[in-house]
Amino acid sequence: MTGGKAVSLGAFCRDRGQQYTRFDYRGHGQSGGVFADSTVGDWLKDALTILDSVATGPQIVVGSSMGGWIAFLLARARPNRIAAIITVAPAVDMTQRTLANLPDDAKHQLGEKGVWMRPSQYEPAGYPITQKLLEEGINHNLLSDPIHFDGPVRILHGMQDDAVPWWLSLDISDALISNDVKITFVKDADHRMSRPNDIKRLLKLVDALS
Which tens digits make up the pLDDT trace of 37-73? 899 999 999 999 999 999 999 999 999 999 999 999 9
CA 126, distance to chain mean position in Å, is 19
Integer Cα distance of 103 and 117 in angstroms:
12
How much is the pTM? 0.93
User: Reduced to 3 DSSP states, what percent helix, strand and coil does the chain have, rounded to the nearest 5?
Assistant: 45, 20, 35
DSSP 148-209: ---S-EEEEEETT-SSS-TTHHHHHHHHB--S-EEEEEETT--SS--SHHHHHHHHHHHHHH
Report how far apart, in Å, the C-alpha atoms of 205 and of each of 88, 133, 142, 200 are.
11, 32, 24, 9
Predicted pLDDT at 133: 96
* Dist. CA 5–CA 89, nearest whole Å: 13
Domains along the chain?
4-93+145-209 (3.40.50.1820)
pLDDT at 35: 73
Q: pLDDT confidence of 3, banded at 50, 70, 90? A: confident
15: helix, strand or coil: helix
Question: 144 pLDDT exceeds 80?
Answer: yes
> Across the chain, what does the average pLDDT equal?
95
Residues noted as catalytic: 65, 161, 191
Enumerate residues 6+ apart whose C-beta is below 8 A from 115. Answer: 36, 109, 128, 129, 130, 131
Terminal C-alpha separation, the chain? 22
